Amino acid sequence: MNVETRQRFREITDRIAKREPVSCTDMAWAQKWAMHNHNADTNLRRARQIATQSKHIEENEDDRIMRIRKHRSRVESQLKLYNDLNY
């Protein structure tokens, strides 16, 4: 790969890793290079892996927020029940 090709490939894999939009033509171009170049293949797989892991982190954060909201709701309902019984 020459310098320009490597730079373009790097820009595409960076966008993939950041989960930014990548055009179909850029994706196809990067995939063709990955099929013929071991280093390109490794970099493309790594970018996809990073994108997938960041998605799971976001989902886990959403799950954590939902768990906190459910817990808060349970505590509030128990507190209301306790207050109703004491009055």
| Domain segments of the chain as ranges | 3-86
The token duo for 20 is: 């930014």
Q: Give the pLDDT confidence score for residue 80 in this predicted structure.
A: 82
HSE-CB of 23 using CA atoms within 13 angstroms: 6
Q: Give the pLDDT confidence score for residue 62 in this predicted structure.
A: 75
Q: Give the pLDDT confidence score for residue 44 in this predicted structure.
A: 92
Exposure letters 30-57 (e unless 16+ CB within 10 A, then b):
beebbeebeebeebbeebeebbeeeeee
Q: Give the pLDDT confidence score for residue 9 in this predicted structure.
A: 92
pLDDT, tens digit only, all 87 positions of the chain:
789 998 999 999 999 998 899 999 999 999 999 999 999 999 999 999 988 886 666 667 777 778 778 878 888 888 888 778 776
Amino acid identity for residue 38 in this structure? H
